[in-house]
Amino acid sequence: MNIFRLAGDMTHLMSVIVLLLKIHTIKSCAGISLKTQELYALVFATRYLDIFTDFISLYNTIMKLIFLASSFSIVWYMRQHKIVRRSYDKDQDTFRHLFLILPCLLLALFINEKFTFKEVMWTFSLFLEAVAILPQLVLLQRTRNIDNLTGQYVFLLGAYRALYILNWIYRYFTEPHYVHWITWISGLVQTLLYADFFYYYFNSWKNNVKLQLPA
Amino acid sequence: TGQPSAHDEL
């Protein structure tokens, strides 16, 4: 484990904590896309199929359990919690899951490192994670006014992606035979999706004004 | 064991 990977995992973890804190303490999920959260729950469920079959490390297993539990509890909060669910912007969050899930599934069936159920599911989760943020970005674009916590949540997710790219570069140069085109390309696509958001985030931070996206 | 793999990532 290198420093970029650890920092990437920690920012990823922080993004989830920020979101759970917002939902749990303010009892509001305003500005958060349920579609994106459901896609993330699906991403973790399909990626971590190996959780009970392949032991990598205690760290790995615990982090997987945290990501599974947190993503499903966020979905539960937004759908079931009697106060939180009232703040959900249902009419604005109209992105269709299937438009993202189907192409990712098809792509994973054709492009994968090994044609087995677990491997295809793993590849599917990589493709889906790359685009799962889209409903969230569309929602941000529509509501334009972003509260601090939502802004920090998306920022931390983007930071996590950027750090993972540094992790791959580091591993490529330090570990023999570490070549993973599928992971790299889908990871790069995912990070690029944040570029536009980052531009506005840094501008608002630099000018010390509230983050607001253009119409 | 085995080759380094992106499967050990989260």
Query: How does pLDDT run along chain A (215 residues), one tens digit per residue?
Result: 899 999 999 999 999 999 999 999 999 999 999 999 999 999 999 999 999 898 999 999 999 999 999 999 999 999 999 999 999 999 999 999 999 999 999 999 999 999 999 999 999 999 999 999 999 999 988 887 788 889 999 999 999 999 999 999 999 999 988 899 999 999 999 999 988 888 888 888 888 888 888 76
Say what the pLDDT of residue B4 is.
64
Place B1 in a pLDDT band, splitting at 50, 70 and 90. Answer: very low
DSSP-based three-state secondary structure for A145: strand
Inter-chain CB proximity A60 and B7 less than 8 Å: no
* Beta carbons within 8 Å of A95's beta carbon, 6+ residues apart: A33, A35, A134, A135, A138, A139
Inter-chain CB proximity B4 and A54 less than 8 Å: no
Say what the pLDDT of residue A204 is.
82
Residues of A with CB under 8 A from a CB of B: 5, 9, 12, 50, 54, 56-57, 60, 63-64, 67, 122, 164, 167-168, 171, 175-178, 180, 183
Q: What is the ipTM of this complex?
A: 0.84
Q: Radius of gyration (Cα) for chain B, nearest Å?
A: 7
Inter-chain CB proximity A171 and B4 less than 8 Å: yes
CB contact at 8 A, A126 and B10: no
CA angle at A104 for the pair A102 and A108, rounded to the nearest 5°: 120
Count Cβ–Cβ pairs < 8 Å, chain A vs chain B: 30
CA distance A108 to A154: 26
A34-47 and A58-80 are packed helices; what angle lies between their axes, rounded to 10 degrees?
150
Residues of A in contact with B4 (CB under 8 A): 171, 175-178
